[in-house]
């Protein structure tokens, strides 16, 4: 099989070099000024990794505030991700915050472009239009939200991509290890965990679980090596400050606004609906051939739509496989639907851009995931995948 990554690596390398040069020139006189190219949420990963490296509590509000005070005027940003996340951000703790910010942006950009390229192959996109995957990735508004915020969603997308890639190559242990990246925000893909558990009796799925456990243990041991109490610190903080104070753009938050913000249990009503859907769905396909590229997209969409919290606008980048899958199908099988798909894409991202320019708060981007899911199922109904 020919190696197809080189053109994309050339593009990615060029973009990274240009980006670093521009940043280097631009920040030469404003290196320590956080108002220029603000670090935003990136500081939570930089500060947490710095504290972990110093054998201190990476989930301590006061310690994080002390580190972030020179960089932020408002309250400190907490890293609420599980401790194994620190393995992937730990290098930032060895850098000056500005150097780490540039490396973080480059890492996210590489993860995005690598994922776009591999997903195009996995969903059988036309080779002549491989560049279109990069265009889709860079014009997807949640991608821009992610880069602006300095968030971590590109690593979750990379986790999905590596999982599918390793399964295609018949390496289930490595596919399971890739799931550790998804476990950075496990609530956003909780139905994937259920699918793996239920299908664990199958030899390959059992190997996935073993690979995931081993990968999770290794990813956990690294931050423990720097700060042995890291898991205890995490559980202490998460129990003292549960996510009930967050008004994230989820269906559960909408239910709380309707029935009363004090009813935190309403956040989990959509999860019940998601599990009901999953039960019916898994029964429907119990006798069908299990093709992970086609099965993972509904699991991602419904998990995201019914997540109890999170699902921020920058997290929507996790749903990028659905976009690539539909783009590949339309280009291959429905050229008469290309204009319709283009209008949907321009309208979707155009509205998100206008909202952003108008300064809308995150909650009002609650439509991003449902509309994307609706678009996926609409175009999928017009052009059903060959495997189904």
Sign of CA dihedral 213, 315, 237, 265: negative
Is residue 241 predicted with pLDDT exceeding 80? Answer: no
Average pLDDT over residues 246-250: 83
- pLDDT tens digit sequence for 177-204: 999 999 999 999 999 999 999 887 765 6
Is residue 28 predicted with pLDDT exceeding 90? Answer: no
Asked whether the beta carbons of 295 and 234 are under 8 A apart, the reply is no
The C-alpha angle 73, 78, 84, rounded to 5 degrees, equals: 145
CA distance 115 to 121: 10
Residue 239 — very low, low, confident or very high, per pLDDT cuts 50/70/90? confident
Residue 171's closest CA among 124, 119, 208, 116?
208
Question: Which residue has tokens 């935003």?
Answer: 40
Residue 4: the pLDDT is: 47
Asked whether the beta carbons of 362 and 309 are under 8 A apart, the reply is no
Higher pLDDT, 47 or 334: 47
Is residue 2 predicted with pLDDT exceeding 50? Answer: no
CA distance 335 to 383: 10
**% of the chain at pLDDT higher than 90:** 66
Within the chain, residue ranges assigned H as helices are: 6-26, 42-53, 61-68, 86-89, 97-122, 130-139, 141-149, 153-168, 172-182, 190-198, 203-226, 230-240, 251-259, 269-284, 292-305, 320-333, 338-357, 368-382
Look up residue 381 and give its two tokens.
């109904």
Phi, psi of 331 (to 5 degrees): -65, -35
Percent of residues in the chain assigned helix, strand, coil, to nearest 5? 75, 0, 25
Is residue 5 predicted with pLDDT exceeding 50? Answer: no
Residue 289: the pLDDT is: 79
| CB count in 10 Å sphere of residue 283 | 9
The radius of gyration of the chain from alpha carbons, rounded to an integer in Å, stands at 21
Residue 76: the pLDDT is: 77
Domain regions of the chain by residue span: 6-382
**% of the chain at pLDDT higher than 70:** 87
Residue 336: the pLDDT is: 86
Residue 387: the pLDDT is: 47
2-16, 80-94, 366-380: the lowest-pLDDT one: 2-16
Look up residue 94 and give its two tokens.
């060895």
Average pLDDT over residues 3-15: 54
| Contacts for 169 with CB less than 8 Å, ≥ 6 apart | none
Look up residue 124 and give its two tokens.
């059988």
Residue 139 — very low, low, confident or very high, per pLDDT cuts 50/70/90? very high
Give Cα separations from 334 to 157, 376, 384 (angstroms).
27, 14, 10
Average pLDDT over residues 125-138: 93
Give Cα separations from 222 to 43, 57, 59, 368 (angstroms).
21, 15, 16, 36
Asked whether the beta carbons of 164 and 292 are under 8 A apart, the reply is yes
Give Cα separations from 262 to 256, 305, 325, 374 (angstroms).
7, 22, 40, 31
- pLDDT tens digit sequence for 255-305: 888 887 777 778 899 999 999 999 999 988 877 778 899 999 999 999 999
Q: What is the pTM of this model?
A: 0.90
Is residue 388 predicted with pLDDT exceeding 50? Answer: no
CA distance 359 to 342: 26
CA distance 83 to 306: 24
- pLDDT tens digit sequence for 352-381: 999 999 999 999 999 999 999 999 999 998
């Amino acid at each position: 099989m020919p190696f197809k990554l080189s053109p994309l690596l050339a593009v990615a390398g060029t973009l990274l070099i240009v980006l670093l040069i521009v940043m280097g020139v631009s920040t030469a006189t404003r290196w320590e000024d956080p108002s220029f190219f603000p670090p935003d949420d990136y500081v939570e990963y930089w500060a947490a990794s710095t504290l972990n490296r110093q054998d201190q509590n990476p989930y301590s509000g006061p310690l994080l505030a002390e580190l972030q005070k020179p960089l932020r005027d408002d309250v400190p940003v907490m890293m609420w991700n599980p401790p194994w996340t620190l393995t992937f951000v730990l290098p930032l703790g060895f850098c000056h915050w500005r150097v780490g910010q540039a490396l973080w942006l480059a890492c996210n950009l590489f993860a995005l472009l690598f994922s776009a390229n591999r997903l195009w192959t996995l969903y059988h996109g036309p080779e002549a239009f491989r560049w279109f995957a990069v265009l889709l990735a860079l014009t997807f508004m949640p991608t821009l939200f992610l880069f602006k915020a300095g968030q971590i969603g590109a690593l979750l997308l990379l986790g999905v991509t590596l999982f599918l890639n390793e399964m295609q190559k018949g390496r289930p242990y490595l596919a399971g290890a890739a799931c550790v990246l998804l476990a950075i925000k496990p609530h956003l893909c909780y139905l994937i965990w259920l699918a793996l558990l239920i299908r664990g009796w199958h030899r390959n799925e059992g190997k996935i679980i073993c690979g995931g456990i081993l990968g999770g243990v290794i990813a956990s041991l690294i931050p423990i090596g720097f700060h042995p109490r890291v898991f205890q610190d995490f559980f202490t903080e998460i129990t003292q400050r549960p996510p009930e104070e967050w008004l994230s753009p989820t269906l559960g938050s909408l239910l709380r606004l309707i029935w009363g913000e004090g009813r935190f249990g309403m956040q989990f009503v959509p999860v019940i609906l998601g599990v009901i859907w999953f039960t019916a769905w898994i029964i429907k396909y119990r006798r069908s051939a299990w093709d992970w590229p086609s099965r993972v997209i509904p699991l991602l969409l419904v998990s995201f739509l019914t997540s109890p919290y999170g699902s921020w606008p920058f997290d929507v980048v996790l749903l990028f496989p659905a976009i690539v899958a539909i783009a590949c199908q339309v280009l291959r099988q429905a050229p008469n639907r290309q204009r319709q798909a283009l209008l949907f894409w321009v309208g979707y991202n155009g509205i998100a851009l206008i909202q952003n320019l108008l300064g809308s708060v995150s909650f009002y981007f609650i439509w991003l995931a449902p509309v994307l899911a609706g678009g996926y199922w609409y175009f999928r109904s017009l052009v059903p995948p060959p495997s189904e």
